[in-house]
């Protein structure tokens, strides 16, 4: 799920495109143009793609790594045991 601060670059254009009714007859010509422009900027900027790739990997490792979750659960169990 995207957070408000994540709505930048190609991701932001995709979010705005979706909100404008992408795939529906209601989609505005400007939304389509903006998405196309964002996709071209993204395709032409290898540094941006690399930066987004690193950020995505960092987020996955931070928020979805099973070892991280296991440690958090273990910490909560230890805290609960101390309170009883």
Q: Where are the domains of the chain?
A: 4-83
Q: In the block, which residue shows the tokens 């071209």?
A: 40
Give DSSP secondary structure letters for 37-78. Answer: HHHHHHHH-HHHHHHHHHHHHHHHHHHH-HHHHHHHHHHHHH
Per-residue pLDDT tens listing for the chain (84 residues): 444 445 555 566 566 656 655 544 445 567 778 888 888 988 999 998 899 889 989 988 888 889 988 999 999 999 999 987
Against a cut of 0.75, is the pTM above it? no
Please give the Cα distance from 77 to 75 (Å, whole number).
5
Token pair recorded at residue 67: 């070892």
């Amino acid at each position: 799920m995207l957070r408000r601060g994540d709505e930048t670059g190609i991701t932001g254009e995709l979010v705005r495109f979706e909100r404008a009714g992408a795939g529906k007859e209601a989609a505005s010509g400007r939304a389509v143009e903006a998405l196309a422009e964002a996709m071209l900027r993204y395709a032409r900027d290898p540094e941006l793609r690399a930066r987004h790739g690193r950020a995505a990997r960092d987020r996955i490792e931070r928020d979805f790594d099973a070892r991280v979750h296991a440690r958090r659960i273990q910490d909560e169990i230890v805290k609960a045991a101390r309170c009883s």
